[in-house]
Amino acid sequence: MKIPVLLVCCCLLTACSSDDSSENNPVINQPAYQLVDESLDQIRNDFNAMQDKIRLVFISGPSCGICLRGMDDLNKSIVSTLQNDARAHTMVLYVPALGAKERHVAAAVPLMQGPRVSHYWDEQGGSGLAFQETLDIPMYAWDIWMIYEPGAVWEDGSPPPQPAFWQHQLPGLPTGQRLDAQHFAEMVHVSLKQVPQSTESTAASTGQPEMTEIIAVAQPSSVIIKQHHRSRGGYQKLKTIKAINYFGETKIDDQSYAVTVETARPNDYIRVANDGTNQSSLAWDGQSAVSDGSTGALPSDIRVELLASYDFDGWMTDWKSKGYQTRRMGMVKYQDRLPWLIKTELNNGRMWHVYVDSHTGDAFRQALIGPDGMELIALEFGDYRDVDGFRLPHQVKYFRGENLIAVDQYARIDVIVETGGQGT
C-alpha cells in the first residue's frame, strides 16, 4: 500500500471525556483551544479553579519548532501519563512569538492532548509579559515550562505566582534550567507525592489522535541544514572525507548475505553482496551504472532510484550549487519523533522528502515522492554511532510503500579523510 504524504488530522474536534465531576474541573470538555483577551481572565480563572491540583503551565510558540519539540518531549515523558490522574492538569498557552498566528495553533494542539490538557491562544501575547515579571527574567517569557503545586493562586491585578519549578529553552537564561523532559517529569512526580489521591473520577479515554498533519514552523531551512551538518561532524570536516566504506550483512526475503558498500568522492558507489558462493554487484561512477548478478541484490526499482539520486555529500550540502531545490516544509509527527521535514527536488526531477531529527540533526528517513504525492520508496537510517568524529548510521532499511524490502546492518565503517588518516 502506498503511503499518502499529507493526511488530515482531527485536531479541531472537541476534547471528550466521560468524567462525571467536570464541575470540579471547568476546563474538561472544552474545545481544542480557547481564545483569551488582553485581560488574561480566561487563563487566570481556569488556573485558580484548579488550585487543588498540580498545574503544568507551558508557554509555547505554535510555529516555533524548538517549542513544539519541547511539547512533544514533555508529552511523552509526563503529560500523556497524567490523563487518568485527577490531581494534575496541563495548561498550554500559545503566544505570537516568531510571527505566529492563530492558524498555527490548530496543527500544534495534537502534540499534547487529553481530557486533562487545555490549550489557549493568547493573540495579544500578554501572558508572556506577565510570566516574564513573575520569573524576573530579562526577556519575553515563551518556551517556558512550569510546575505549580496546589494552593498557588493568581490574584487579580497581579502577575502570576511563582512556580515551584520551571525550565526553558531560551538563549541567555541559566543553562542549568534548560528543558530536560525526564528531569521535569521527575519533578512532577515529586509534587504529586504531596497530593492525596483524588476522589474525582478519572477520565475514561486517554487515546491520542494520530498526528500526521505537517506543522508550519518559523525556522528557515538554513537552521535545519546547519543542525544536520553539525550532527555529522560539521561542514568543513565533512569536506575532508575522501571515502566511506561499510562492511556487514544485508537481509532480503529472510536470507542473509555478506555486504560491502564502498563510496568515494565525488559520487562513486559500489555495492557487493554474496552468500559465499555467488554474488551480486552494483557500481555507479556518477554517470552510469553497472549491475551484475542477483545473489543478495536489491530489487531493480530500488537500485535504479538509489543510484539516480545518489550524492556522496548528501542533498542538503551545497544544494544551491548543485542545482537542487530545497525548502523546509515544517515538522511532522513520525512514529515517536517530531522531525523537521525538508523537500528536495533534484536536477533530474526526482522529489524526495527528508526527515531530520529535531534533536540530533540525523537525516534518518528519506522518501521518494511520486507525481501523485505518494511515497514510492523510502530509506530509513538508524543505529547511529560515532566513527572518528563522524556520526554515521550502521543500519539502513529499504521500503517499497509500507513493505520492508531489505535491511543492511554494518558491523564496521571505515572513514578515509584527506590527510590519509583512517578511522574504523
Residues 50, 110 share a domain: yes
Listed residue (260, 279, 287) closest to 271, CA to CA? 260
Of the two residues 207 and 417, the one the predictor is more confident about is 417
267 and 149 housed in the same domain:
no
pLDDT of residue 339: 97
Residue 202 lies in a domain: no
Lowest mean pLDDT: which of 35-44, 48-57, 293-302, 415-424?
415-424
Are 107 and 215 spatial neighbours (Cβ–Cβ below 8 Å)?
yes
At which of 192, 213, 229 does a domain end? 192
Whether residue 244 sits in one domain with residue 150:
no
What pLDDT is recorded for position 5? 36
Q: How far is CA 168 from CA 66, 118, 177, in A?
A: 11, 20, 6
Q: Are residues 419 and 310 in the same domain?
A: yes
pLDDT for the residue numbered 199: 62
Question: Has residue 206 been placed in a domain?
Answer: no
Domain count, the chain: 2
Note whether 51 and 44 are within 8 A (CB): no
User: 21 falls in which pLDDT band (50, 70, 90)?
Assistant: very low
**173 and 230 housed in the same domain:** no
* pLDDT tens figures, 121-157: 999 999 999 999 999 999 999 999 999 999 999 999 9
Residues 322 and 181 in one domain: no
Residues 369 and 408 in one domain: yes
Q: Is 112 in the same domain as 227? A: no
The CA radius of gyration of the chain, in Å to the nearest whole number, is 25
In this prediction, residues 76-96 reach a mean pLDDT of 96
Q: Is the pLDDT assigned to residue 7 strictly greater than 70?
A: no
CATH number at 389 reads 2.50.20.10
Domain assignment present for residue 390? The answer is: yes
In a domain, 268, yes or no: yes
For residue 150, give its domain range. Answer: 22-192
Q: In Å, what is the CA distance from 304 to each residue of 286, 288, 319, 368?
A: 13, 11, 22, 12
Q: What is the pLDDT of residue 167?
A: 98
Q: What is the pTM of this model?
A: 0.87
Residue with cell 498555527: 104
CB 190 within 8 A of CB 54: no
Please indicate, yes or no, whether residues 247 and 187 belong to a single structural domain of this protein: no
Tens digits of residue pLDDT in 350-376: 999 999 999 999 999 999 999 999 999
pLDDT at 419: 75
Residue 205 lies in a domain: no
What's the pLDDT score for residue 210? 57
Residue 87 lies in a domain: yes
Tell whether 17 is covered by a domain: no
**End position of a domain, from candidates 171, 192, 213:** 192
241, β-bridge pairs: 417
Q: Is there a single domain that holds both residue 274 and residue 410?
A: yes
pLDDT score recorded for residue 4: 37
In this structure, the strands spanning 165-168 and 144-148 are antiparallel
Q: How many CB atoms lie within 10 A of CB 198?
A: 16
Rounded CA separation 232/255 (Å):
32
396 and 316 assigned to the same domain: yes
Q: What is the per-residue pLDDT for 133?
A: 97
Question: DSSP labels for 136-191?
Answer: T-SS---SEEEEE-TT----TTSPPPPPSEEEE--TTS-GGGB--HHHHHHHHHHH
> Can you give the pLDDT at residue 24?
42
pLDDT in tens, 306-335: 999 999 999 999 999 999 999 999 999 999
| Dihedral sign from CA coordinates of 365, 402, 11, 8 | positive
Write out pLDDT tens, residues 192-233.
998 888 666 555 555 555 555 789 999 999 999 999 999 999
* First-last CA distance in the chain: 39
Rounded mean pLDDT, 279-285? 94
Residue 30 in this model has a pLDDT that exceeds 80? no
Identity of the amino acid at 238:
L
Q: Is residue 216 part of a domain?
A: no
d(CA 91, CA 86): 14
Judge whether residue 392 has pLDDT over 90.
yes
**Higher confidence at residue 21 or residue 73?**
73
Identify the pLDDT of residue 362: 96
CATH of the domain at 54: 3.40.30.10
Among residues of the chain, what percentage have pLDDT more than 70? 88
Residues 280 and 337 in one domain: yes
Mean residue pLDDT of the chain comes to 89
Does the pLDDT value for residue 17 go beyond 50? no
